[in-house]
Amino acid sequence: MDLSFSPEERRFREEVQAFVATHLPEDVRRKVLGHQRLDRDDYVRWHRALQAKGWGAPAWPKAFGGAAWNAVQRVIFEVECGKAGAPRLLPFGLTMIGPVLMEFGSLEQQQRFLPRIPGVEDFWCQGYSEPGAGSDLASLKTRAVRKGDNYIVNGQKVWTTMAHWADWIFCLVRTDPQAKQQQGISMLLIDMKSPGVTVRPITTLDGGNDVNETWFEDVVVPVENLVGEENKGWTYAKYLLGHERTGIANIGHCHRELAQIKLYAREAHDAGGRPLLDDPRTRDKIILIEMDLMALEMLLLRLAAQGEGRPGPEASIVKIRGSELQQELARLQLELAGPHAWPYDPAWLEPGANQPVSGPAWASPAAATYFDMRKTTIYGGSTEVQKNIIAKMMLRF
């Protein structure tokens, strides 16, 4: 196995660098590098710039309008976009419901929904977790009852990220309450504008409202919006989660945050006026975290070198290390900011907001980033769940 880039891959990296440098909107780049909040339009503009280039769906086959990049190209693309300050591509359509529809959806669903995903003509969100069904997802209770040509849906979902912007939600529902937990679940595509759908914000530790609770009260969903077969939704859910967990590593974000940390360590000074980067302990921490990031990237490239295919238990390894690394990067940023990260005001993250009068501008979002990264070891399946998957499928315990 050769993990060095080929001449073609190096040329591809240069092409990505040049495109991002000329097509990423400058105001979006500043928000991302400044850890400020993005709005719906920021994501849409970046997606549509990529779509105009033919890069809107990097992993999709050409038959579905994708770029058909191999896994190595996708890693290169994510790293270079992350370093340059591009927003992460919205995963809900591209890497979650899109692959599910390609594999299990009807021809009508593929023709109706897939062409609208790369350019975010439809904004998607995910309806999986519930108040009593998070890591134990099979305990979900949102109910869908078949009545003629429709399902009537009642229940509640939580942690529906970006549901306040979404046009559609792919939702796990219980269609057979008498069956064993996993065997009575189906997947429905629900129009968020349907009567009876209510989205309520959940304020997270950083003061943001990007996650929500979503309520369904007698929501009418046409039968043609059932994905695959009734009561087979658990199969589709596992397939989707494999794709989601691989993406949670967020390798581009990690590269960007490491570069920011090195910059902060040069700008920040200790009580004696010396740059923090001159402190051996600070340098050690940066070097160790960079080694971890290199190891994660090598793991992704190693998986890429093994060929394409459905995500397996390796996705759980990537998810664990990627989410932990994001937390470690946020913790080190907070440490470098020191007292300038306190007190924290969520208003500082809004575009155009006045920064605090004392301390460097980069320090003001440090606490928010640290708070927000607490969630990474939970979403997409908690670290404990991922370790169970690894033990069962790889170690055979």
Residues annotated catalytic, as ranges: 244
Q: Which of 193, 176, 198 is nearest to 185 (CA)?
A: 176
Are 365 and 294 spatial neighbours (Cβ–Cβ below 8 Å)? no
d(CA 226, CA 173): 10
Determine how many CB atoms are found less than 10 A away from the CB of residue 79: 20
**Strands 168-174 and 124-127, sheet pairing:** parallel
Q: How far is CA 66 from CA 55, 57, 313, in A?
A: 7, 5, 26
Q: Helix (H, G, I), strand (E, B), or coil: what is residue 199?
A: strand
DSSP for 112-158, please give it. Answer: HHGGGTTTTSS-EEEE--BTTBSSSGGG---EEEEETTEEEEEEEEE
Question: Please, which residues have CB within 8 angstroms of residue 104's CB and are 6 or more apart in sequence?
Answer: 227, 228, 235, 236, 239
d(CA 351, CA 41): 13
Q: Helix (H, G, I), strand (E, B), or coil: what is residue 375?
A: helix
d(CA 170, CA 238): 14
Q: How far out from the chain centre does Cα 61 lie?
A: 21
